[in-house]
Amino acid sequence: MDRISVLPKTILHDILGRLPDKDAAKTSVLSKSWSETWFSFPVVAAWSKDFFNLPELPLSPEDPLWLSKLDIFIEYVSKRLRRLHDQGLAVKELKLCMEDTCASMLVSQSHHIDKWIQMASESGVEVLQLYLTRSNDKFYNLPLCLAEAKSLTKLVLNGGIRLDPAFLNHSLKFFSVRTLFFCGILVGDERVMEHFISHCPLVENLTLILCLLYKPSSVGDPPGSRADYVKSLSLHGLQKLKQVEVQGIGEVYIDAQNIEKLFYNGAIVDTSFKLNLGSYKNLRWLSLWFVKRADMWLLEQLPKIPFLESLILNHCSLCERTNISGPQLKFLKLTNCPNLKEINIDAPNLLSCEYSGKDEPVISFREISNQLEVNAHILMTRQPVDRLRQFIQNIEPQEVLTSLSLFIFHPYSIIESLGTLPCSSSPPSIKHMQLCSVSHRQTQYFPVLSWLLSSCFPETISFSLDCNFNTRAFMVRVSFVERSISSSYQHKEKVMEPLTLSVISQKQQYFYEMLMCSKKGECHCYSRGPECWWHGLKVVKITHLERTYANIEDLKAMLNALPLSDNSKEEFITFTLEL
């Protein structure tokens, strides 16, 4: 007996709501009861990719096969909405994705979309999402009937959609809207978008991405042919606004007292950006991407953000010496910010600091928390090979190094310089090192690792098992050719004998064995000089997915058993070193 089918409709609708849209639609053929449940389900979702198999369709959208597919799509949506509307049932959500249809076909059938939006609005729609094909000259005009959607709580407009200036003459009734998302839409007047948003007094989440402004140079110009990105935005009276994302608008003023999270991307902004929130007293999270002269804005505005907890700067233009302060700052991330020479951080409650880039600036912390974790992602290029050690040693105070994790990317471009590597007898100790790529040339494995381990002593070393990184061959079995690397170092202001790192000719060697070779009398430091840290290495533990491997044979068996395909979840092998 089918016990599920006799459950109340509200429970069955909840079950359908948890299924992917395509799978939920398939339940309508299970039985008459399920068919009735499906046609009363208040969520109407249609994705063009489920109706249009593009590789099988002719290139011309005027082909009868294209038109027949479009007719099936239109009939499906119309039938679902008409049945709900005619029976007086609610339409809680209408989600339409027509990104796989050409713009001309879409515009020619726009009257169907108008009708769908009207029926949904009259049926108490709460969520409306439109994803339409982008085009330079074909846009779908959003119908004025949407202004009557009093129950709307979420509105997503993405792609070839135009907000007509006629909206300026209508009293919009979006008193329940909490989420607004506009991406790539065209506005016929620069006031339309501000008018639209200002009539959403309860909006909490606002996203504006690369919106366009229609600027015709002559009568009859196609809507998108003379479009440019919206240059400025001014919003007032949004007292409930908490989260804002803005991309591509140069001047932004938002009078909202309660904004907690702000993301700004100025990638296409030609001039220095202007961002003013009126009040920053509740701002907790701030992310700036591709911002010119971000240092000037930070210098002026950071003191006005007393409760900022997270700050992210990505591809931002900063001066060579940058100061960042925040009494409540807990998370700081700097990614690919050029020209940085020195970063001074005054954040006594900082818990996490991440740096990524080609340059290795001096990083100093005025005060540090005992819970601070520092991660540095370093892309090694053809630069002096002692830069890695200098970068580590230039982090102040030195006690930060006990929480430092290094992620090294593509160090193989500096192989030719390793013969002149200067290094001291006692490299700085750090918490963790992860090598994020391994060369396909086996002869490069040993010299690069010798260089890395001469630059610092990590408590743990990890390697990704992603097959693209080629680390399995390195960890399992490697055949090295004879090679030696010499380096000089200073100790107590006295130049000592060069440190020689050598590889035994044609010897099969594992990374594990390389680390433990000091037990066999095969350490890689020069015998007449001071002993390197390898001489004191007592234990090497190998860990994968919280399992510790007692010997190299167990590790080898585990690696051989792993599939070679890419893993959606990245896994690591970790070597723990104990002196």
| CB 70 within 8 Å of CB 113 | no
DSSP label at 67? H
286 within 8 A of 268, measured Cβ to Cβ: no
Distance CA 275, CA 237 (A): 17
Token readout for 545 is 């997915």
Nearest to 472 by CA among 513, 432, 515, 511: 511
From first to last of its 579 residues, what are the pLDDT tens digits of the chain?
A: 466 666 676 777 777 667 676 676 677 666 676 777 767 778 888 887 776 655 555 455 566 666 677 788 888 889 889 988 888 888 899 999 887 666 666 667 789 999 999 999 999 999 999 999 887 778 889 999 998 889 999 999 999 899 988 888 888 889 999 999 999 999 988 889 999 999 999 999 999 999 998 876 555 555 555 678 888 889 988 999 999 999 999 888 988 889 999 999 988 877 667 888 767 889 999 999 999 888 888 888 888 898 999 999 999 988 889 999 999 999 999 999 888 899 999 999 999 999 998 777 899 999 888 899 999 988 766 566 677 888 888 899 988 998 998 887 766 555 555 554 555 557 888 999 887 766 666 666 667 777 777 788 888 888 877 666 656 555 554 333 322 323 333 333 333 233 223 332 223 345 666 666 655 555 555 444 445 666 667 677 888 887 887 666 777 777 777 666 555 466 788 888 876
Q: Could you give the CA distance from residue 427 to residue 222 in angstroms, rounded to a whole number?
A: 66
Sign of the CA dihedral with 499 first, then 505, 507, and 510 last? positive
CA 181 – CA 239 distance, rounded (Å): 18
Cα 107 vs. chain centroid, distance in angstroms?
34
3-state SS, 488-502, equals: CCEECCEECCCEEEE
Nearest in space to 180 (alpha carbons), one of 153, 160, 161, 162: 153
CA distance 275 to 248: 12
Q: How far apart are CA 401 and CA 455, in angstroms?
A: 13
Six token digits for residue 96: 């339409």
The CB-side HSE value for 109 (13 A sphere, CA atoms) comes to 20
Is residue 450 packed enough to be buried (19+ CB in 10 Å), middle (13-18) or exposed (0-12)?
Answer: buried
Residue 257 dihedral angles phi and psi, to the nearest 5°: -80, -20
Task: Indicate the helix (H) or strand (E) that contains 288.
Answer: strand 285-289
Cβ–Cβ contacts within 10 Å for residue 525, how many?
21
Q: Are 101 and 70 in contact (CB under 8 A)?
A: yes
CA distance 190 to 212: 9
How many Cβ atoms sit within 10 Å of the Cβ of residue 410? Answer: 13
Concatenate the DSSP letters of all residues of 110-135 into one string. Answer: HHHHHHHHHHHHHTT--EEEEEE---
- Concatenating the DSSP letter of every residue in 120-178 gives HHHTT--EEEEEE---SS--EEPPGGGGG-TT--EEEEEESEEE-GGGGGS----TT--
